[in-house]
Amino acid sequence: MLKIAVLVSGGGTNLQAILDAADSGKITNTEIRVVISNNEGAYALERAKNYGTEALLLSPKSFETREEFNQKLLEALKERDIDLVVLAGYLVVVPPCVIKEYENRIINIHPSLIPSFCGKGCYGLHVHEKALARGVKVSGATVHFVDEGTDTGPIIMQKPVMVEQGDTPEVLQRRIMEQAEWNILPETINLIANGKVHVDGRVVTIDK
């Protein structure tokens, strides 16, 4: 049984997609053990409570130093015997101590086809603003492992989404969530839970 922690900063729509997939059987062999947020106003914490999963508020602002927060986050994951950390709209930089402890066991969903429109400053609506300003015809989403870079870890899964004439960043964001993010993030978790994802350097292979 894969024990996962989902880290979220906002509303938690990707979290809800994970919860729904677990309920419907699209995700198997998985226990959603804790939802952690840095934001006490995050609706993701309510989603967790409604599902019956532990909702943990853990904010850097509550600690005197960032190092104290980093260690507390690591302790929280280890105390719950977490196997996989899922970043689902988490706007806090994951500390090196967590990345080292969970090498190739942290995944993130990014709302573009990496390596396009990713890296420092590319999050939320900023990604879609950049995509539309560049005039791309196809965007999408990427699930990747997390390393110490920004959006530089091995790519696990990608799904393209067409950009339509007249799109606003908000409209494109919604389409990418509905057509890509809410599908490939739960699918990736299920694949990992069932031992079908393998990493060799920067290349990921998936058993069929």
Write out the catalytic residue numbers.
110
CB crowding 173-203: b at 16 or more within 10 Å, else e? bebbbebbbbbbbbbbbbbbbeeebeeeeee
What is the C-alpha end-to-end distance of the chain, expressed in Å? 20
